Amino acid sequence: MNKRLEKRHKRQVTRARERVKLSAPDLRSPEQLKALREASRALVGHGSRPPAHYATPPHGSHIDGTVAVNETKAEVPS
């Protein structure tokens, strides 16, 4: 039984290796990479954007922190 499992594993590994996609090499020069890094650093900065302001609070809550409950209840005839 051990031989059967070994053969199965070997087949699985072989098939998995066939499916692996190799990525294309990066052909940019070191100068180009450095320039791109500098440009991206200039765009991204912690705290550079103000926090998002929403027109309405999140669904189901009020400013005071209470959860909205259906206040109009239908009367059940007895």
CA triple 58-63-69, angle to 5 deg: 70
Question: Of residues 25 and 12, which shows the higher confidence score?
Answer: 12
Residue 6 above 80 pLDDT? yes
**pTM to 2 decimals?**
0.30
Cα distance between residue 5 and residue 73, in whole Å: 66
| Cα Rg of the chain, angstroms | 30
26-60 pLDDT, tens digit each:
899 999 999 999 988 876 655 566 666 776 666 65
What is the model's pLDDT at position 26?
87
What is the model's pLDDT at position 31?
95
SS3 state of residue 67: strand
